[in-house]
Amino acid sequence: MLVLALVLLAALWELYKLVIPADGVRIGDTLILPRSDDTSMPHLSQIFGAFGKQEVAGAGGTVLSSVISSVWYSLRLAAAGFAVGVVIGFLLALAMQRLRIVERALLPYVVLSQTVPLIALAPLVYGWSGNLTLFGLDWKPWMSVSAISAYLAFFPVAVGALRGLSSPPPVQTELLRCYAASWWQTLVRLRLPASVPYLIPALKLAAAAAVVGAIVAEISIGLSGGIGRLIISYAQQATGDPSRVYAPIIGAAVMGLVAVGGVSLLDVALRRYHTHQEGTW
Amino acid sequence: MVTAAAVALEGVGKRFGEGPAAVQAVTGIDLTVAAGEFASLIGPSGCGKSTLLRIVANLIEPSEGSVLVNGKPASRARLDQDYGIAFQSAGLLEWRTVQGNVELPLGLHGVGKAQRREQALELLDLMGLADFASHRPSQLSGGMQQRVAIARALARRPALLLMDEPFGALDEMTRERMQSELIRICAETGAAVVFVTHSIPEAVFLSQRVVVMSPRPGRITEIIDVPLGARDEDVREAETFFATITDVREALRGRSPVAEEGPA
C-alpha cells in the first residue's frame, strides 16, 4: 500500500508539471495554481539525482551521505527523547491510575503542557546548557533537543497508558480482588496486558512526535549535525540548486517512518495481547 | 470439632452514601448456609441480592452486622481464598488461553507450573472442556466461556462457591444443561454454594433452600425449603418441583391476600 501511494504521489507530481504551465494558473493577478517550473518543482529525477551530488565545492561526501549521517544523528536524539518520554508518560499514567486524586490534579497540566508552543520552549531549555549539572553530567546542547523530544513524546503515552490501564472491566478487577491479588500482581497480570491495544497507537504517536520534536528543536536551538539544521542550510542554497532542498525533507520523512516502523515491530511481538474487540491502528 | 457454617450472617445491613441521600441497600439480614449446602438468593431487581453476595465476598464492607465465612471474618476468608466466585459475565482474560485462565488464581498464589497445569486440566476435564485447553476465550461460545469461569472459580478447591447470576446471559437450553452440570460438580466437590438468580425455576431446581428477598430496603422475607431429592432431568417435570415454584412465586409477590387478612 505504501509503495502504491508513493507511486501515485510521484505520478501526480509529474502530471502537474506536465499539465500546468510553468508560471502557474492566474485569474487576473491572483495565482490560483502554483508555478510548476523547475525551480519551484524540480523533476523527480532531479530531486533524487541531488542525492548523488557532491556536498559544497566538491569537498566532503555526497548529499546522500550527509543526509544519512544527519538522519542517524537526529534519530538517536529522538530515540533518547522517546525513551525518556515513554518512561515519564508511563509513570504518570501509573500514578494517575493508582490515585484518582493524582489524576484530577495532574491531568489538566498534562494537557496544558502540550499547548505551550514548542518554539517558545526550545530556547528556554537550551539555556540550561552550561548552567545545569545532572548526576555529575553537564547539560549538553543535544540534551536540550532530546528533552524537547521527550516533552512531546510523553503526552500520548501518558494519556494512552492511563486509558489502557483503566480499561479492564469491573468484573476482572473484582475477580483479582477476590483472589487477594496485590496491586503489583493486578498490574502485571491484568492492567498491563489489557493496556497493550491502547499503548501501541500511543507509542506510534509518541515516536512520530519525538521525531518532529527533535527536528524542530534542532532548528530552533541551532544545533548542527542533525537533519533539522541540514533542512535550513539546503534551503538557503535553494537559489543555486533548487532540487537539493528536497533531499533532507525526504530524509526527515524516512526518519519518521523508521521511528514508527520500530514501534510496529513491538506491535507484532505483542500481537497476542490484541483483544479481538480492539481494532489495529 | 464442629464444622463451621460456610456463611453466617448476623444483622447485616449496608447503606450507600451518607446523610439524607443515603440508600439502604440491605438491612437486618440473618442467614446461615451450612457446609455443602446449596442456597439461592432470589428477588426482584434492587432487592440487594448481589450486594449481599458481594458482602460475603468481601468486595464491599457491610455498614453493620457480622459476616463469617468458614468461621472466619470475610476479609480473612478472602485473603485465605476460602471461596471461588463467578459473575454473570465470564470476565476471561482474552490474552490467555482457556487453560491459562483457569491457572490464573493458582499462579497468583505461587502454585508451581507443573501442578498448575495438572490441576487446570483436571478441572477442564470436569467441565467437559478438555479439548479446548489451548483455545482463546474469543473462540468459545458464551456457555463455554461461563464453564471456563466456573472451572476457574473451582481452581482453589474452595469450600464455598459464590455465583452472581452466572447463567443469566445464556439461552434456555444451555442454561438447563449448565444447571445440571453445576449440580453434578457440587456433588463431586462437596462445595457449598450461594447462588444469586432472578429465575424461579433455576433457584428451585438447584437449591436446597431458596432465600426470598424484597426491595426497598433489601431484606429477607422468607426462606423456603425445597423438598426435592436427587436432581435429575425428571425433577423438572415433577409435581413437587412445580408446587415449590408456585410457593416461591407467591413468596415473591408478598404472599396471598389470605395471609394478610385478619382483624381490620
DSSP annotation string for A51-120: GGSBSGGG-SSBHHHHHHHHHHHHHHHHHHHHHHHHHHHHHHHHHHHH-HHHHHHHHHHHHHHTTS-HHH
Which chain B residues touch A179 with a CB distance below 8 Å? 81, 104-105, 108-109
Total residues belonging to chain B: 264
Chosen from A175, A195, A198 to mutate, greatest number of chain B CBs within 10 A? A175
- Distance from the Cα of A179 to chain B's closest Cα (Å) equals 6
**What value does the mean pLDDT take over residues B109-114?**
84
What pTM does this model have? 0.80
**What value does the mean pLDDT take over residues B238-264?**
71
- Distance from the Cα of A172 to chain B's closest Cα (Å) equals 6
Asked if the model's pLDDT at residue A50 lies above 70, the reply is yes
Q: B132: which DSSP letter?
A: G
Asked if the model's pLDDT at residue A280 lies above 60, the reply is no
Tell me which residues of chain A have a C-beta less than 8 Å from any C-beta of chain B: 169, 171-172, 174-181, 185, 189-190, 193-194, 196, 272-273, 275-276
Asked if the model's pLDDT at residue B36 lies above 90, the reply is no
Which chain B residues touch A196 with a CB distance below 8 Å? 95
Q: Which residue of chain A is at minimal alpha-carbon distance from B94? A: A275
What ipTM score was computed for the predicted complex, to two decimals?
A: 0.83
The answer to whether A17 and A41 have CB atoms below 8 angstroms apart is yes
pLDDT tens for B45-96 read 888 888 889 999 999 988 888 888 888 888 888 888 889 899 888 889 989 9
- pLDDT recorded at residue A193: 92
Q: How many A×B Cβ pairs under 8 Å?
A: 48
- pLDDT recorded at residue A281: 38
Q: Which residue of chain B is at minimal alpha-carbon distance from A274? A: B95
- pLDDT recorded at residue A202: 93
- pLDDT recorded at residue A165: 92
**Neighbour-count burial of A194, counting CB atoms closer than 10 A to its CB (0-12 exposed, 13-18 middle, 19+ buried):** buried
- B81 and A185: CB-CB below 8 Å? no
- A179 and B109: CB-CB below 8 Å? yes
Asked if the model's pLDDT at residue B1 lies above 60, the reply is no
- A171 and B105: CB-CB below 8 Å? no
Pairing relationship of beta strands A133-134 and B83-86 according to DSSP bridges: unpaired
**Which segment of A147-151, B24-28, B226-230, B249-253 scores lowest on mean pLDDT?**
B226-230
Mean residue pLDDT of chain A comes to 84
- pLDDT recorded at residue B2: 55
Chosen from B54, B88, B103, B104 to mutate, greatest number of chain A CBs within 10 A? B104
Which chain A residues touch B93 with a CB distance below 8 Å? 172, 189-190, 193-194
Max alpha carbon distance in chain A (Å)? 78
The answer to whether A16 and A41 have CB atoms below 8 angstroms apart is yes
- Strand-pairing partners, residue B259, are none
B79, B87, B91 ranked by CB distance to A180: nearest: B79
From CA A228, how far away is CA A224, in angstroms rounded? 8
Q: B157: which DSSP letter?
A: -
Asked if the model's pLDDT at residue B219 lies above 80, the reply is yes
Which chain A residues touch B102 with a CB distance below 8 Å? none
Asked if the model's pLDDT at residue B218 lies above 80, the reply is yes
Asked if the model's pLDDT at residue A203 lies above 90, the reply is yes
Asked if the model's pLDDT at residue B258 lies above 60, the reply is no
- pLDDT recorded at residue B256: 55
Q: Which amino acid is at A117?
A: P
Q: Confidence class of residue B163 from pLDDT cuts 50, 70 and 90?
A: very high
B59, B107, B138 ranked by CB distance to A276: nearest: B138
pLDDT tens for A15-39 read 888 888 877 788 877 877 887 877 7
- pLDDT recorded at residue B249: 86
Q: Is the peptide bond before B217 cis (omega within 30 degrees of 0)?
A: yes
Asked if the model's pLDDT at residue B262 lies above 70, the reply is no
From CA B137, how far away is CA B152, in angstroms rounded? 13
From CA B33, how far away is CA B248, in angstroms rounded? 19
| % of chain B beyond a pLDDT of 90 | 9
From CA B5, how far away is CA B229, in angstroms rounded? 22
From CA A148, how far away is CA A120, in angstroms rounded? 11
- pLDDT recorded at residue B260: 46
Chosen from A179, A188, A275 to mutate, greatest number of chain B CBs within 10 A? A179
A169, A185, A272 ranked by CB distance to B95: nearest: A272
Q: Confidence class of residue B144 from pLDDT cuts 50, 70 and 90?
A: confident
- B91 and A175: CB-CB below 8 Å? yes
- Distance from the Cα of A127 to chain B's closest Cα (Å) equals 48
- Distance from the Cα of B212 to chain A's closest Cα (Å) equals 25
